[in-house]
Amino acid sequence: DVKVTQSSRYLVKRTGEKVFLECVQDMDHENMFWYRQDPGLGLRLIYFSYDVKMKEKGDIPEGYSVSREKKERFSLILESASTNQTSMYLCASIALARGQETQYFGPGTRLLVL
């Protein structure tokens, strides 16, 4: 079974705080992704990584950074949280499903920035 876990289901932080969101997959996958999901906007790609220490910007990288020091772990960092970063954050990893590579998601982290 594909298993993607995220460190927290719910987080409340204050404006200006540094926030770490952790994602771990136990299937030795190379590709990992961070999205945020907001009502009316769907899922938007923040960053992705195709190997250890490799990262690529997605569609909305501003205000975020990432870290991939180990293959199984992909961290999303909000250097200085702002209220417009209140959102649902979803991590994903690539796996084979029905003969095609597709993405499996972690359970998500709901972040509230006050």
Partner 1 sequence: RKEVEQDPGPFNVPEGATVAFNCTYSNSASQSFFWYRQDCRKEPKLLMSVYSSGNEDGRFTAQLNRASQYISLLIRDSKLSDSATYLCVVKGNAGNMLTFGGGTRLMVKP
What is the binding site for partner 1 (CB under 8 A)?
31, 35, 40-43, 45, 48, 50, 58, 90, 94, 97-108, 110
Q: Measured from the CB of residue 39, what is the shortest distance to partner 1 in angstroms?
A: 9
Q: Measured from the CB of residue 67, what is the shortest distance to partner 1 in angstroms?
A: 20
Q: Measured from the CB of residue 16, what is the shortest distance to partner 1 in angstroms?
A: 27
In angstroms, the CA 13 to CA 54 distance is: 28
Is the Cβ of residue 18 or residue 53 nearer to partner 1 in the bound state?
A: 53
Q: Is-contact 42 59, C-beta < 8 A?
A: no
106 φ, ψ (degrees, to nearest 5): -75, 175
Q: How far is CA 105 from the centre of its chain?
A: 9
Is the Cβ of residue 17 or residue 61 nearer to partner 1 in the bound state?
A: 61
Is the Cβ of residue 31 or residue 67 nearer to partner 1 in the bound state?
A: 31
In sign, the C-alpha dihedral spanning 22, 28, 34, 40 is: negative
23 φ, ψ (degrees, to nearest 5): -135, 135
Structure tokens at 63: 């205000």
Is the Cβ of residue 5 or residue 82 nearer to partner 1 in the bound state?
A: 5
Q: Measured from the CB of residue 89, what is the shortest distance to partner 1 in angstroms?
A: 11
